[in-house]
Every structure is written in structure tokens, then in C-alpha cells.
Amino acid sequence: MRQGEAAPKGAWTGAAVGGVKAPEPLILPDPAARFARTAARLAKLADGHPMEGWLTFMAEVSEAQRVVAEALPHCAGPDEAQVQVAVEARIPPIAADGWRRHPVWQESLRALLDRFDPALLPPAAASVIADLRRRDSGATEALADSFLRGRVDADDAGAAFWIAAALQVYFTRLAAGLRADSLRLLEQRGLCPCCGSTPSAAVIRASGQTPGARYLHCSLCSTAWNHPRAVCITCGDSRTLALRGIDGDSGTVRAETCEECHTYAKVLYEAKDTGVDPYADDLASLALDLMVSEAGWSRHAPNPLLLMG
């Protein structure tokens, strides 16, 4: 099965009813297309945006990720036997906090840093890059472990941004090398079936064989997987959900809030804008995060590129 292809129906735990096609359970990423799409969307959203400069910079980061993803040497992932063992145990085959990373991921980090001229960056950002370059391999691996386990110290938040960007490239390449027809969704449906990470955002499809289906998009390995609508991705409750947005906007991005666990997750609607991207639109809608956070809800999980926030 090639990159970007969806798993066959045999990987789905349910069945089509009455001739209606069941949603594809998961869709593996195409690394170059994933980062190119995010870069283009960020560049478009940046035009005239209150955070134009920052979104333009993030578009440059995504474009750098695309270049690095295409040039990165082969990333050896789990073999079929390892995948089968993980699937039968209902654990992700490339678990973010357990997979033994190949040193090639640090090549992606160095390549990302090389794409940015410190002389053109703010002094604080240039200092972060210089500090990362001075770290030895062991210190860099330790920071990556801390990031993947959610234990980054405040002093390392700037460095963690670049660590996160490099790990996104590495894990997206790993996920692309898996076979979708050998994978299964996890029992905890709010977590990625490939790496076990949380999603950046959900997209409600407006086209394809199953318009209206909701797909969560992994914040680390870029895998997309189906999740029932009107069910909280954090606690599974369906009684107290509500969609909230900013008055007068296009309605493309909404926050799905849950009164049971007091969390929220973002939902993007292709019917409102066919160009939505779960990574770009998440970054461009921070005003929505501020609004629902001030109203008392906590985000279901942080965006890995927003740790300093």
C-alpha cells in the first residue's frame, strides 16, 4: 500500500449498513504533501492576519519540514511481526514515548536549523538555535524524550519547538512506511493508532465517499483516523457537548466543548472552506483558544509547536 492510501474496510471494526459506505478507519500520511499543504495554507492565512509575521514564519518552518522530509534518509520502522504484536496488544506500533528512535531524526533537526539564517532571526530565536547546535547527541535525545513525555522545562521551551518540528518529520516518515491494512484503531479512540499521540484538530469531511465523517489528525506523525461525531475525544461523553465559535467569523473553525471533563477540541469544516488544514488552521485560530480558555475550558492537548504558549 502506497503512502497516502487509506486502509481497506477490513481494518474497520464495524460494517457498512444498508449500502452506506463506512468511513475509512485511518489514512497514512504522505510526508511531502502533508508539510507542503500546511505551508501553503499558512501562507494564505497569514495575509492580512493580526499575527501575519508569526504565521509567515510558521509557513517557512513547514516548508523547511517538507524539504527535510523529502531528503531524509530511509527511516526504518517496525517490521510486520512487530506491528502484528503491537496491534494484537492494542498499542501503537511506533509509540511516541516508547519507540527507539534512529539517530537519523537528529539529521532532520540539523537540516531544519540549517534552513534558517540566525542573522535574520530575533536575538532570542538565534540564541536558541545556537544552543541546540552546541548540545551533544545525548543531550538532544534527552530533550526529545522530555518533549515526548510532556516534561519540558520552561527554560527549554524554545529548543523544544525545533525538537518538535524535527520529530514531526521523523514520525511522519515512519508512519508513511507502515501498511494501513495491518493497523487497527486503538480502544482509546482519541489517540493516534500509529504513535499514540493526541490530535491537533478534527476535520469534518465535505467530499469523498463519506462526506460528514470526522477525522482526527495526529499532531506528531500526521496520521488521520476516524472518530465518531458528537463524542468527546477526551472522555467519550456525548451528553454535554457544544460547538462554540467567534461571533461573525466564517464558521470554518469551531471549539467542541465538553461539560463533563471541561476540555475542548477544535473542529474544522471542509464545507465552509475546502482548503482547511488541521495544522495550519489550528495555529491561525488562537483567538478561539483564548476565548474558550477564558470561559473555563482546557484544551484537550497542547499543540506541539506552541509549548511556549
Average pLDDT over residues 219-234: 96
C-alpha cell at 11: 481494518
> Strands, DSSP E only, in 21-123?
26-27
Measuring CA to CA, which residue among 112, 75, 108, 78 is closest to residue 93?
Answer: 78
pLDDT tops 60 at residue 50: yes
Digit-coded pLDDT (tens) for 136-159: 999 999 999 999 998 888 889 999
Q: How confident is residue 306, by pLDDT bands cut at 50, 70 and 90? A: confident
**pLDDT of amino acid 21:** 72
Neighbouring-strand partners of residue 6: 27
Q: How confident is residue 12, by pLDDT bands cut at 50, 70 and 90? A: very low
**pLDDT of amino acid 259:** 96
**pLDDT of amino acid 111:** 96
Domain segments of the chain as ranges: 31-179, 182-306
Measuring CA to CA, which residue among 251, 273, 94, 246 is closest to residue 173?
Answer: 94
pLDDT tops 50 at residue 103: yes
pLDDT tops 90 at residue 220: yes
C-alpha span between 253 and 266 (Å, rounded): 7
Spell out the CATH class of 31-179: alpha beta
Average pLDDT over residues 190-205: 97
Fold for 182-306, please state it.
FdhE-like fold (3.90.1670)
C-alpha span between 11 and 9 (Å, rounded): 5
Tell me which of 35-44, 45-54, 120-129 is least confident: 120-129
C-alpha span between 11 and 104 (Å, rounded): 31
Average pLDDT over residues 274-285: 97
**pLDDT of amino acid 20:** 54
Within 10 angstroms of residue 101's Cβ, the number of other Cβ atoms is 18
Digit-coded pLDDT (tens) for 229-251: 999 999 999 999 999 999 989 99
**pLDDT of amino acid 33:** 97
Do the two domains 31-179 and 182-306 of this chain adopt the same fold? Answer: yes
pLDDT tops 70 at residue 297: yes
**pLDDT of amino acid 307:** 62
**pLDDT of amino acid 295:** 95
What burial class does residue 23 get, using C-beta atoms within 10 Å of its C-beta: 0-12 exposed, 13-18 middle, 19+ buried? buried
**pLDDT of amino acid 155:** 87
Q: Mean pLDDT in the chain?
A: 90
**pLDDT of amino acid 309:** 37
The helix/strand/coil state of 256 is strand
C-alpha span between 71 and 89 (Å, rounded): 34
Buried b (16+ CB within 10 A) or exposed e, 221-259: bbbbbbbeeebbbbeeeeeebeeebbeeeeebbbbbbbe
Tell me which of 2-6, 18-22, 240-244, 289-293 is least confident: 2-6
**pLDDT of amino acid 74:** 79
pLDDT tops 70 at residue 169: yes
